[in-house]
Amino acid sequence: MCVVCGCGDGKTTIEGEAHVHDHDHDLARTHTHADGTTHSHAGGPAGAQHDGPEHHHEHEHDHDHDHDHDHDHDHDHDHGGHGDDHLHSHARAPSGTPQVPGRDAQVMALETAILGKNQLLAERNRGWLAGRKVLALNLMSSPGAGKTTLLERCIGDLKGQVEISVVEGDQATANDADRIRASGAAAVQVNTGSGCHLEADMLGRAMKVLEPPRGSLLVIENVGNLVCPALFDLGENARVVIFSVTEGEDKPLKYPHMFSSADVLLLSKTDLLPHLRVDLARMADNALALNPKLKIFPVSAYTGEGLDAWYGWLRGELAEVAP
């Protein structure tokens, strides 16, 4: 949240990103000159004339106000953002089909993908990542499936072999990014505020703060949620869903979009299996009914069981992205 005006409530915040205002702070400015004189200027928009009362500078100094205005005006004109969706404006004759009766109206066939803007930004991220030869994985699961715990384990196990950086998505707190940093990897926390998923724009901003090195692995830990993250392409190379063995065999059928759009399924917490009455084969089969190409790795972040196979897949993907 902005300490000056409190803006940003409920909005996305990205740790480490320069704070950009799209408004003026209409506050009185006080400053001290080199000779020790302190005075204030009347408030007004940036660049306003000094025409306040009694403002006579009778001492010699140059007005070298060192205001470091780091206003990053990122004008994002997405004129090309329609993809295949062209705008056709048809000024129809009054007899035209589905018009609101009794009004002189104009109908436009848009055929615009509602998620088109996100898709465009995702493709931009994809290009950015490919140019840097970075493998990006979008890690998704319900809350508490063990995303962060598994990541901590991976970072420790692959230390010195694979450089890992992490974008942490949560509605609030930097707890997860702190945990990742404590385990030895670079991390940036994205707080989505009221948002229930990460979007391509958020990843784009977070990546620029994080600057993942060439040939490294970037893990995007999405907001814990099996619904919305499935709809938003971030520009990742692959989607990895973590599904803990305590979650019930029919969960893939309850949240089909998440499982049908995934590339890898990590069946986590397998160390708990002796205490559960769960049919692992049925669990896997339900996921495969939605997505037969899904690669399934049963793993335990506590015992390390099954992790080698998962690391093998990771190394293979890394070799493809950064030979």
Partner 1 sequence: MHELGITRSVVSIVGEHAQGRKVLRVTLEVGRLSGLLAESIRFCFDVCAQGTPVQGATLQIVDVEGRGHCSACGAEPELAAPLARCPVCHEPTLRVVAGTELKIKEMETESCV
- Nearest to partner 1 of 291, 300 (CB atom): 291
Contacts of 295 (CB under 8 A, 6+ apart): 263, 264, 265, 313
- Nearest to partner 1 of 28, 289 (CB atom): 289
Burial of 248 (0-12, 13-18, 19+ CB in 10 A): middle
- Nearest to partner 1 of 40, 194 (CB atom): 194
Least separation in angstroms between residue 281's CB and partner 1 is 15
- Nearest to partner 1 of 34, 227 (CB atom): 227
- Nearest to partner 1 of 165, 232 (CB atom): 232
Q: What's the half-sphere exposure (Cβ side, CA atoms, 13 Å) at 260?
A: 9
Least separation in angstroms between residue 254's CB and partner 1 is 9
Least separation in angstroms between residue 321's CB and partner 1 is 26
- Nearest to partner 1 of 5, 227 (CB atom): 227
Least separation in angstroms between residue 141's CB and partner 1 is 17
Task: Please report, in angstroms and rounded to a whole number, the separation of the first and last CA atoms in the chain.
Answer: 42
Residues that bind partner 1 in the complex, under the rule CB under 8 A: 85, 87, 91, 98-100, 103-115, 117, 195-197, 227-228, 230-231, 253, 256-257, 260, 288-292
Contact between 86 and 199 under an 8 Å Cβ cutoff? The reply is: no
Least separation in angstroms between residue 14's CB and partner 1 is 18
- Nearest to partner 1 of 216, 222 (CB atom): 222
CB crowding 158-185: b at 16 or more within 10 Å, else e: beeebbbbbbbbbeeebebbebbbebeb
Residue type, 34: A
Residue for token pair 């615009």: 112
Q: What's the half-sphere exposure (Cβ side, CA atoms, 13 Å) at 272?
A: 15
Contact between 152 and 183 under an 8 Å Cβ cutoff? The reply is: yes
Least separation in angstroms between residue 253's CB and partner 1 is 7
Least separation in angstroms between residue 143's CB and partner 1 is 16
Give backbone dihedrals phi and psi of 288, rounded to 5 degrees, phi first: -70, -25
- Nearest to partner 1 of 111, 320 (CB atom): 111
Q: Please choose, from the candidates 318, 65, 86, 299, the residue with its C-alpha nearest in 3D space to the C-alpha of residue 214.
A: 318
Q: How many CB atoms lie within 10 A of CB 25?
A: 13
Q: How far apart are CA 197 and CA 211, in angstroms?
A: 22
Q: Please choose, from the candidates 194, 260, 207, the residue with its C-alpha nearest in 3D space to the C-alpha of residue 234.
A: 207
Least separation in angstroms between residue 10's CB and partner 1 is 12
